[in-house]
């Protein structure tokens, strides 16, 4: 039996993990940008 710690990671699973974490960061950045644009619009009105 192979110890799961010693066995190399499945490339597909690794690819999915990286893509998920990248998508999460891009989502956060886009959300932050939308909030920023909202506040800029309010600040520019004053």
Partner 1 sequence: MTMQATVQPLPAEWRDFFALTKPRVMSLVIFTGLCGLLAAPKTIDPVLGFTAILCIAIGAGGAAALNQWWEADIDAGMKRTAGRPLPAGRMDRTSARDFGGLLSAASVFVMGFAISWLAAAILALSIVYYAVVYTIWLKPRTPQNIVIGGGAGAFPPLIGWVAATGDITLMPIVLFAIIFFWTPPHFWALALFVQSDYAKVGIPMMPVVAGEKSTRRQILLYAVLLLPLSMLPWWLGETGAVYGVSAAVLSGLFLLLSIRVGLRVRQPEGDRMKPEKQLFAFSIIYLFALFAALVADHWLIGQGAQP
Nearest to 4 by CA among 23, 21, 13, 45: 13
Site for partner 1 in 4-33 (CB under 8 A): 11, 14-15, 18-19, 21-22, 25
CA 22, CA 5: separation in Å to the nearest integer? 25
Closest approach of partner 1 to the CB of residue 4, in Å: 20
Nearest to 25 by CA among 33, 36, 13: 33
Which residue lies nearer to partner 1 by CB, 1 or 44? Answer: 44
- Site of interaction with partner 1 (CB under 8 A): 11, 14-15, 18-19, 21-22, 25, 36, 39-40, 42-44, 46
């Amino acid at each position: 039996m192979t110890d799961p710690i010693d066995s190399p990671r499945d490339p597909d699973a690794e690819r999915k993990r990286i893509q998920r974490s990248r998508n999460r960061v891009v989502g956060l950045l886009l959300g932050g940008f939308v909030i920023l644009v909202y506040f800029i619009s309010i600040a520019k009105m004053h």
